[in-house]
Amino acid sequence: MDEQNRDEAAARFIERIGQIVEQDGLTRIAGRIFGYLLLSSEAHSLEDLAKAVQASKGSISQETRLLERLGALERVTRAGDRRVFYQIGDRMMGRMVALRIERFAQLREAMAEGSRVADDAAVRARLSAFVDFHDHLLSTMREAQDRWCRGHGIET
Amino acid sequence: MDEQNRDEAAARFIERIGQIVEQDGLTRIAGRIFGYLLLSSEAHSLEDLAKAVQASKGSISQETRLLERLGALERVTRAGDRRVFYQIGDRMMGRMVALRIERFAQLREAMAEGSRVADDAAVRARLSAFVDFHDHLLSTMREAQDRWCRGHGIET
DNA sequence: CAATCCGTTCAGACTTGACTGAACGTCAAC
DNA sequence: GTTGACGTTCAGTCAAGTCTGAACGGATTG
10-residue averages of pLDDT along chain A (156 residues): 84 96 95 97 96 96 96 93 93 90 95 96 95 94 88 69
* pLDDT mean across residues, chain B: 93
Look at A7 and B152; give whichever has higher pLDDT: A7
Is B3's pLDDT higher than 90? Answer: no
**Percentage, residues of chain B above pLDDT 70:** 97
Question: Sorting pLDDT into bands at 50, 70 and 90, what band is B156?
Answer: low
For residue range B100-143, list pLDDT tens digits in order. 999 999 999 999 999 999 999 999 999 999 999 999 999 999 99
Q: What is the pTM for the complete model shown?
A: 0.91
* Rounded Cα distance, A103 and B93, in Å: 15
- Tell me which of A44-48, A55-59, B47-51, B77-81 is least confident: B77-81
B46 CA, D6 C1': Å apart: 9
Closest CA to B107 of A49, A63, A99: A99
Please name every residue paired with A87 in a beta bridge, in sequence order, or none if there are none: A74
pLDDT value at residue B155: 65
Of residues B14 and A149, more confidently modeled? B14
Nearest CA in chain B to A112: B13
Residue B150 has a pLDDT of 84
Contact B110 A40 (CB under 8 A): no
Torsion of CA B43, B46, B52, B57, to 10 degrees: 170
The shortest CB-CB distance from A13 to any of B12, B104, B117 is to B117
**B44-45 and A81-88 as β-strands: parallel, antiparallel, unpaired?**
unpaired
DSSP H helices in chain A:
3-23, 28-38, 46-53, 57-69, 92-117, 121-152
Higher pLDDT, A81 or B33: B33
How close, in Å, is residue A4 to chain B by CA atoms? Answer: 12
**Among the ranges given (A11-15, B145-149, B152-156), the one the predictor scored with the smallest mean pLDDT:** B152-156
CA B34 to chain centre: 9
| pLDDT given for residue A2 in this prediction | 77
> Which pLDDT does position B1 carry in this prediction?
65
Give me the CA A55–C1' C14 separation in Å, rounded.
15
